[in-house]
Chains A and B, each alone.
Chain A
């Protein structure tokens, strides 16, 4: 990383800790509206609880709508965080170093957001704990054969493991902040969070090992989580859902959407905090290449779905896909294709991959496209099943829109708090890729 050679250990500390200075007016100007939207989302949810699920747009035969779309979307967003923090760690891809903390934070907050939706979607959300594996009063246990229960296990494991991974990765950095800050309350908070980290060889020895194992666990986990989410659909005998390509298709889509979100988030942060020395064009170049790959996989899956529907000879299956492209929801289908397959094509050119504005715009379209992908899979399949007499149209209600907006705000709220309280760039890992300070042969390393 030639662009980072001007950095020194001390400068890294200074620059990262500088981000934690008192919140500026600009930050507040972002935070307060975000809080407002969270409030509105909460209002919509309470209204729904009070009135009943009828205020969501559920109409026969579509009883999985925007909430489940949001759930799958947010779980997907989480994925590239783990990809960048764990999988690229195992592959020793050094371009991950300056962005992985932000990506990891995104993972944790996205799973936190995703976890709300199955509960919001319940008719009696106060009974959400019925999903936990414990025997009821008749000593009957939960049904371990249900994909919905796999979801409970997969998503809660994912939240736990990614939070642990996120926190453990931060311990040495929190210690660095502890050693720098002067104000007493902050010092106390960071002292507690740093768990007494001193940076001794013993700590590093166990830490490096443990970190490797976390990465090794997180890697299969991340692939399993979206596979399990995809089986929520694939296990059901419904045209458009019941297919074996769902697991890889969902995982590729998840990484694709997550990379889009990482780019959307890091570009403003890089600008606001003047982090051009850290988050370099090489980082974006690497992410854009992964976007090309995942976009191709997703595009290929769209094609395969149609091919298999035709090749299967099943009228219901073929009817479903014909309906997707030409029926009532065709607009959403083509938004998805344009955003996910066509708009990323310019990334094949290096000039576009290294153009921040172009990347930002493309990343927003990817977010939109992937939300619609989830919507199309869930809603269009449900609205035209096997039985023509039971077909129906689903319309999104204002309550669902409000809660969806609220979920974006909820996600950004955590993110804004994170940026001001925890090290958004890994201090210790950045130092690892800097030249080691040596008295003799200084540039070796």
Chain B
């Protein structure tokens, strides 16, 4: 394998953000930042494109609405039971079902979108994770060519990383 992960562990957000900036300036694009909380500064520094979960949500909600229409209208027309002179396909009561199914399927597909998207790309090998990332530490993981490992280590050190770990070590 000619790629290796290098992980720098930080205690402060501002140092983490600076390290990310510096690494990007030096041309390292394959970055992964770990943090115990979502943080806008980190998000802006890494500069990932907007989450595509929103398309899952939209699609799920539209599918749900369509199911709601289909469910009610088709079943009512399949075996029409006229009551008094009331319409067999009556929209107002069906709106309730459409509404609930829109929300149900919208929420479930959002869940699916979340699970798929945050796991599709492998996050990090196990040796590149530190349990303190759910506590109070921040981490910057760089995946780089083996010949660049030294350089990344230097950058991380110069930006105030408290510990440096190497993949597979």
Given contacts A139-B79, A198-B124, A199-B36, contact A164 B108 (CB under 8 A): yes
- Which of B51, B90, B100, B131 contacts A206 (CB under 8 A)? B51
Number of interface residues of B (CB under 8 A): 61
Q: For residue B27, which residues in chain A have a CB less than 8 angstroms away from its CB?
A: none
- Asked whether, in the complex, the Cβ of A437 is within 8 Å of the Cβ of B123, the reply is no
A171-197 residues with Cβ-Cβ distance < 8 A to B are 172, 175-176, 178-180, 195-197
Choose from A13, A149, A153, A208 the contact partner of B134 (Cβ within 8 Å).
A13
Q: Does B148 contact A (CB under 8 A)?
A: no
Tell me whether A440 and B35 are in contact (CB under 8 A). no
Contact B33 A210 (CB under 8 A): no
Cα-based distance from A140 to B90 in the complex (angstroms):
17
Interface of A, helix, strand, loop or mixed by DSSP: helix
Question: By the criterion CB–CB under 8 Å, are B114 and A207 in contact?
Answer: yes
Q: Which of A175, A206, A217, A428 has the most CB of B within 10 A?
A: A206
At the interface, yes or no: A310 with Cβ under 8 Å from chain B? no
CB neighbours (8 Å) of A220 from chain B are 99, 103
Residues of chain B in range 83-118 having any CB-CB distance to chain A below 8 Å? 90, 93-94, 96-97, 99-101, 103-104, 106-108, 110-111, 113-115, 117-118
Interface membership of A88, Cβ < 8 A: no
B110-150 interface mask toward A, CB cutoff 8 Å, 1 = contact, 0 = none?
Answer: 11011101110101100001011111100000000000000
B65-79 Cβ-contact flags toward A at 8 Å (1 or 0) = 000000110011011
B75: chain A residues at CB < 8 Å are 133, 135, 141, 144
Which chain B residue lies CB-closest to A211?
B114
A168 touches which of B94, B114, B119 (Cβ 8 Å): B114
A residues 246-276 in Cβ contact with B at 8 Å:
none
B107 CB contacts on chain A under 8 angstroms: 160-161, 164-165, 213-214, 217-218
Q: Is A397 an interface residue (CB 8 A)?
A: no
CA distance A75 to B14 in the complex (A): 46
Known: A9-B135, A209-B53, A440-B14. A214 touches B110 (CB 8 A): yes
| Bound: A217/B71 CA distance, A | 21
Q: Is the CB of A217 within 8 A of B34?
A: no
Indicate if the CB atoms of B93 and A141 lie closer than 8 Å.
Answer: no
Residues of chain B lying within 8 A (CB to CB) of residue A176: 36, 134-135
Q: How far is the CB of A347 from chain B (nearest CB, A)?
A: 33
> What is the minimal beta-carbon distance from A273 to any residue of chain B, in angstroms?
20
Checking A8, A141, A198 against B79 with a beta-carbon cut-off of 8 angstroms, the contacting residue is A141
Chain B nearest CB, measured from A95 CB (Å): 18
Establish whether residues A221 and B123, one from each chain, have CB atoms under 8 Å apart when the complex forms. Answer: no
Q: Smallest CB-CB separation from A145: which chain B residue? A: B93
A8-B97 Cα distance, complex, nearest whole Å:
47
Q: Establish whether residues B133 and A210, one from each chain, have CB atoms under 8 Å apart when the complex forms.
A: no
Q: Which residues of chain A come closer than 8 Å to B79, judged between CB atoms? A: 139-141
Chain B contact residues, CB within 8 Å of chain A: 11-15, 32-39, 41-43, 46, 48, 50-51, 53-54, 57, 71-72, 75-76, 78-79, 90, 93-94, 96-97, 99-101, 103-104, 106-108, 110-111, 113-115, 117-119, 121, 123-124, 129, 131-136, 160
Q: Can you name 29 A-B residue pairings with CB atoms under 8 Å?
A: A9-B136, A10-B136, A140-B79, A144-B75, A145-B94, A164-B108, A168-B111, A178-B134, A179-B132, A179-B133, A196-B123, A198-B133, A200-B34, A200-B123, A200-B124, A201-B35, A202-B118, A202-B121, A204-B43, A206-B53, A206-B117, A210-B57, A213-B110, A214-B107, A217-B110, A221-B103, A228-B96, A431-B37, A432-B38
A-B complex: 3 closest residue pairs judged by Cβ atoms: A179-B131, A9-B136, A176-B134
